[in-house]
Chain A
Amino acid sequence: MLFLAALFGFMAWTLYGALVVTPPAHVLGETARIIYFHVPVAWVAVLAFTMSLWNSVVVLRRHSYEADMKAEVSARMGLWFCVLATISGAFFAKSAWNMYWNWDPRQVSITVLLLVYMAYFGLRSATPDFDRRIRLAAVYAILAFAVMPFLVFVIPRVYMSLHPDTIINADGQGKLLDDKMRLVFWCAAAGYTFLYLKLYNLSVRVERIARRKEGWDV
């Protein structure tokens, strides 16, 4: 109950705060409001990929079907949130850079990241033997996760990019200089994290029921 209250509270406040409370930003104006969506969504993608890593390690340790199911659910969620970050980023780019898509280093690296995690599902469906599949998938998910921070954090900093630095600026200062913006931003981060946890929980339950119907003992 408390969890749902926190989820709806933060999300409601985020919607209201992002659209009404925060002032339009200098230079970017009203379109800057997309950061209250774009950034938390990218954050949730990273969180979901981390969850996929963790469950994949458990698969290799204990050969757990349950953990494999959770790893797959996490990778799928990470992929969807990554797609959302890419699309919202393209719209943001249209107003900030003048173009939806320019194969900027940031856009290249997120495309590679999407392909890396799509290949995870390709690998799964191409391996008919279940015990072999979950081990292969787990090893691949660990490898994919090692590449992820490199694509998200390193490449766009090594090469010149139109995208601003993520999390904090190169000079170590925060990005949001306005108190209201900062408040709404952190509420959004919390809200989307709760949303992620709720979606994860629901997805695992749905997947468990689906597998039981197929006769799996999970």
Chain B
Amino acid sequence: MKPKHIIGAVIIAACLGAMFYFSKNFATPYVTFDEAAKAQGRQVQVMGELVKSAGAALIPESGAYEFSISDPDGKVMRVRTMKGLPSNFEQATQVVAKGAYEDGIFVASDILTKCPSKYEAKADEAFQKEPGE
């Protein structure tokens, strides 16, 4: 290894390190639940796992849907949307909610879905039905 190779490697490593260090500022639009709560009223995006057990509930009086998402630490946030749920919401593993946190609930104007990353054939409906159904 010549000295200039070592200098080159150090420069490259420094660039990567700097990029990684600053990437938090530019790489992701998603904020944590705490940051969303702190940003009261400001438009942000949060991402989390759908809490399947809580399900999505339609609030009959307002026509809004409500559901819960959890972050990797297990913190749970309630999300409400007036726009209805996207068609593949049921199968989504994670969702992104775009909107603002208002008085204990995240009011979303848009819901984005993360679909399962495994691709399997669509089951034939004839097979899905239980015999005698």
| Docked CA distance A112–B84 (Å) | 34
B115–A102 CB distance below 8 A: no
Q: By the criterion of a CB under 8 Å from any partner CB, how many residues of chain B are at the interface?
A: 35
Using Cβ atoms and an 8 Å threshold, which residues of chain B touch A29? Answer: 122
Indicate if B78 sits at the interface (CB-CB under 8 A).
Answer: no
Are A162 and B112 in touch, CB under 8 angstroms? Answer: yes
Shortest A197–chain B CB gap in Å is 27
**Does B121 contact A181, Cβ atoms closer than 8 Å?**
yes
Q: B-side interface residues toward A, CB under 8 Å?
A: 8, 11-12, 15-16, 19-20, 23, 26-30, 45, 47, 72, 86, 88, 91, 94, 96, 110-123
Cα distance A176–B94 in the bound complex, in angstroms? 20
Q: Apart from A35-B119, A159-B30, what are 17 other A-B pairs with CB-CB below 8 Å? A: A23-B121, A24-B121, A27-B88, A97-B112, A97-B114, A98-B112, A99-B112, A102-B29, A102-B45, A102-B96, A142-B8, A143-B11, A147-B15, A154-B20, A177-B119, A177-B121, A178-B121
Q: Which residues of A contact B11 (CB under 8 A)?
A: 143
B112: which of A102, A142, A158 is its contact (CB, 8 Å)? A102
